[in-house]
A = this chain, B = another copy of it.
Amino acid sequence: MEIPGVTKSIVEHLRSQIITGQLKAGERLNESVLSNQLEISRAPLREAFRVLEEDQLVVSNPRKGCYVADLTQQDFIELYQSREMIEIYAIDLLEEMRLNELNDVEAALKATIGLSIPTENESADEKLNYLLKFADFHNSIVKASQNRQIIHFYRKIGFHLARYQFMYAYKPGLTSDSQKEHTKILNLIRSNKYDQARIYLRHHIKSFVNLMKVRITS
């Protein structure tokens, strides 16, 4: 036998392939073909399919096979509603706990300073990594809420969000603004201005959505 935990690594591999678009929406996932490519048997591959299906990154028709999940504009809207719901509620919880240290949030914010935008011809993994660094700011706020259920759900929708952003948002235009807005949100929470933080966060998310909408439709 080789390394244990093949299923887990297959899940991560396929997930990043889907997010980065190397596996396209609607694409068929043939078990034999994939298991040959990845040089594993079909059993762990099928286990990976079940995980990805549960996360709604693939859909499976019984006796027909698995396909990469579609990517509709409606999904995009619903995902950002979910994101807004979670992040706003995370701040509610921070307020309730009187928690405003947020060292991890600051660390995530600092990690984005001076980050240069990947060019078109850089590898998919490079681009994805860049996106995830920015997403980490939002992740760290949700993590600070210390609600594991919500963190779990946010992580899941994070994969879908990354998928959209990978298609439309890894190009210049947003990052510098994001940086400033992230800083402002962090400062508002730190000075216990939770109401303002929520309002500003909502604004931050909605303006991003509007920007993305333009890109999607154009």
Contact = CB atoms under 8 A, between A and B. Distances in A.
A82 interface: yes
Chain A interface size band reads 35 or more
B4 A62 contact: yes
A98 to B, nearest CB: 16
Contacts of A153: 82, 153, 156
Contacts of A149: 75, 78-79, 81-82, 157, 160
Interface in A89-123: 89, 92-93
Contact of A7 (B50, B79, B152): B50
A113 to B, nearest CB: 31
Contacts of A156: 153
A47 interface: yes
A81 B27 CA distance: 38
Contacts of A89: 81, 85, 89
Nearest to A5: B62
A7 B53 CA distance: 13
A86 interface: yes
A78 B146 CA distance: 9
Contact of A47 (B5, B46, B81, B82): B46
Interface string A203-218: 0000000000000000
A3 to B, nearest CB: 10
A180 interface: no
A54 B79 CA distance: 19
A85 B53 CA distance: 25
Contact of A147 (B47, B55, B81, B92): B81
Interface of A: 4-5, 7-8, 43, 46-48, 50-51, 53-56, 62-63, 75, 78-79, 81-82, 85-86, 89, 92-93, 147-150, 152-153, 156-157, 160
Given A54-B54, A75-B148, 6 more contacts: A4-B63, A47-B47, A48-B50, A78-B150, A85-B92, A149-B160
